[in-house]
């Protein structure tokens, strides 16, 4: 019992729930045999699916509810009337210590509102952020915030840097990740007050962060840093711009390869290579956006993720649990505050 990792799953969230949730859990169990699932959802719907997956059934406790949050529900409405929903009960399990993490492919806004309300932000963190990783020229990097906070000040960005640093240590296994602040140029004077203020603090001798400095949009896919820090407006636009550009590129490539007999023949021979490229850029590999800064681990899977994608989101939750991300964030906040208190002296530290 003591060695197992319990993950709460919102069985009813996502476009093809609960089928994909169970298929994903089955795949994740192959990779992490020590995981036990709290499967929250409609027992009448999940039991027949579990019956077909005996290994998963053995590793699963079903928590029944016939309520769920719909994809178009407003966060405030979901918070008010979704107290018995599968999403909410999965988060409650984390708050009550019955699960180490919750994973849902449901409504992002509702999930964030419930997670904030139930788990509360960690001491020293003003606002939670959404983080995810993505492919780069040099491997993989992490970006945050991806849309939880449309407006951010310098202090928010510094906290995001700390959370992103801990996330990269935990999930990418880096010992001293580099952190960059997204800006419109690399010179000190570029940008707005928030990024300049955050850079000042992160550059300070007391910062526990390996701060690279300002980076620009092309540095994201370039892999210049391991952690890209930005406000939720810019981060959301950048992430979706990269997705859109990838799609355009695939589309133009496909059209070009189909444009002549010779190129179609070439494409047949090179199909394996094109397939490998698609796999490397496959959004399913990067599924699993993480809510950071709460007293508990919550992972959001894309609503249209397939079983492989959902399994990857579970994998991110397990990695974060096993590597103790919450303690890592707490430790870094303590180091940052202690170092800054020392740097500024006792009179301001007492403020």
> Which residues bind to a copy of itself, rule: CB under 8 A?
135-137, 147, 150-151, 182, 184, 190-192, 216-222, 230, 232-234, 236-249, 251-253, 255-257, 259-260, 262-263, 265-274, 276-277, 280-281
- Which lies closer to a copy of itself via its Cβ, residue 15 or residue 279? 279
Least separation in angstroms between CB 150 and a copy of itself: 5
Phi, psi at 9, each rounded to 5°:
-115, 130
Q: What whole-number distance in Å separates Cα of residue 12 and Cα of residue 52? A: 18
The smaller minimum CB distance to a copy of itself, of residues 204 and 217, is found at 217
Of 255 and 350, CB closest to a copy of itself: 255
Residue 32: how many CB atoms within 10 A of its CB?
19
Other Cβ atoms less than 10 A from the Cβ of 229: the count is 34
Q: What does DSSP assign to residue 285?
A: G
Query: Please, are residues 304 and 279 in contact by the beta-carbon 8 Å criterion?
Result: no
Q: CA 99 → CA 73, 89, 243, 293, 341, distances in Å?
A: 25, 11, 33, 18, 36
Which strand (E) or helix (H) includes residue 292?
A: strand 289-292
Minimum distance between the CB of residue 225 and a copy of itself, rounded to whole angstroms?
A: 13
- Is 191:180 a contact under the CB 8 Å cutoff? no
Cα distance between residue 165 and residue 293, in whole Å? 12
What is the closest distance, in whole angstroms, from the C-beta atom of residue 203 to a copy of itself in the complex?
20
Tokens of 22: 């169970």
- Closer residue to a copy of itself in complex, CB, 136/206: 136
Nearer to a copy of itself, 79 or 166 (CB): 79
CB of 58 to a copy of itself, least distance (A): 40
- Shortest Å distance, C-beta 67 to a copy of itself: 24
| Among 37, 40, 10, 14, residue whose Cα is nearest residue 26 | 37
- Residue 50 beta carbon to a copy of itself: minimum distance, rounded to whole angstroms: 35
Contact 238, 217 (CB under 8 A): yes
User: Shortest distance, CB of residue 177 to a copy of itself, whole angstroms?
Assistant: 19
Residue among 265 and 338 whose Cβ is closer to a copy of itself: 265
Smallest gap from Cβ 102 to a copy of itself, in A, equals: 23
Is the Cβ of residue 270 or residue 339 nearer to a copy of itself in the bound state? 270
Token pair, residue 278, equals 């698609």
User: What kind and span of H or E run contains 103?
Assistant: strand 101-104
Give the residue from 48, 44, 67, 45 showing the smallest Cα distance to 56.
48
CB 255, min distance to a copy of itself, A: 8
Q: Which is nearer to a copy of itself, 30 or 245 (CB)?
A: 245
Q: Quick one: which H or E segment has residue 101?
A: strand 101-104
Which strands form 101-104's sheet, in the order they lie side by side?
A: 60-64, 35-41, 5-10, 101-104, 297-300, 289-292, 129-136, 139-144, 227-229, 178-182, 210-215
Nearest Cα neighbor of 131 from 59, 228, 261 is 228
Least Cβ distance, residue 264 to a copy of itself (angstroms): 8
CB-nearer residue toward a copy of itself: 304 or 334:
304
257 vs 341, beta carbon nearer a copy of itself: 257
């Amino acid at each position: 019992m003591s060695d197992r990792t319990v993950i709460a799953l919102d069985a009813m969230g996502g476009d093809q729930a609960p089928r994909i949730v169970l298929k994903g859990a089955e795949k994740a169990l192959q990779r992490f045999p020590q995981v036990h699932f709290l499967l929250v959802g409609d027992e009448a719907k999940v039991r027949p699916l579990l019956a077909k997956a005996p290994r998963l059934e053995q590793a699963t406790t079903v928590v029944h509810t016939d309520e769920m949050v719909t994809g178009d529900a407003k966060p405030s409405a979901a918070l008010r009337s979704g107290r018995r929903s599968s999403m909410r009960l999965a988060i409650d399990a984390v708050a009550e210590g019955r699960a180490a993490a919750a994973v849902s492919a449901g409504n992002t806004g509702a999930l964030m509102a419930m997670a904030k309300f139930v788990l509360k932000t960690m001491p020293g963190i003003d606002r939670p952020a959404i983080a995810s990783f993505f492919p780069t020229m040099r491997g993989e990097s992490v970006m945050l915030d991806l849309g939880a906070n449309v407006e951010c000040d310098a202090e928010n960005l510094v906290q995001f840097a700390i959370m992103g640093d801990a996330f990269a240590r935990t999930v990418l296994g880096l010992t001293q990740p580099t952190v960059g602040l997204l800006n419109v140029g690399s010179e000190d004077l570029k940008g707005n007050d928030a990024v300049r203020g955050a850079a000042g603090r992160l550059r300070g001798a007391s910062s526990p962060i390996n701060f690279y400095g300002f980076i620009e949009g092309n540095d994201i896919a370039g892999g210049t840093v391991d952690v890209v820090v930005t406000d939720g407006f810019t981060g959301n636009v950048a992430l979706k711009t990269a997705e859109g550009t990838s799609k355009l590129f695939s589309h133009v490539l496909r059209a070009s390869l189909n444009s002549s007999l010779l190129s179609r023949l070439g494409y047949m021979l090179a199909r394996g290579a094109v397939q490998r490229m698609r796999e490397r850029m496959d959004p399913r590999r990067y599924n699993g956006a993480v809510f950071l800064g709460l007293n508990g681990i919550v992972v959001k899977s894309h609503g249209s993720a397939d079983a492989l994608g959902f399994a990857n989101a579970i994998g991110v939750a397990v990695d974060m649990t096993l590597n103790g991300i919450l303690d890592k964030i707490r430790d870094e906040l303590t180091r940052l505050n202690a170092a800054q208190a020392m740097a500024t002296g006792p009179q301001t530290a007492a403020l």
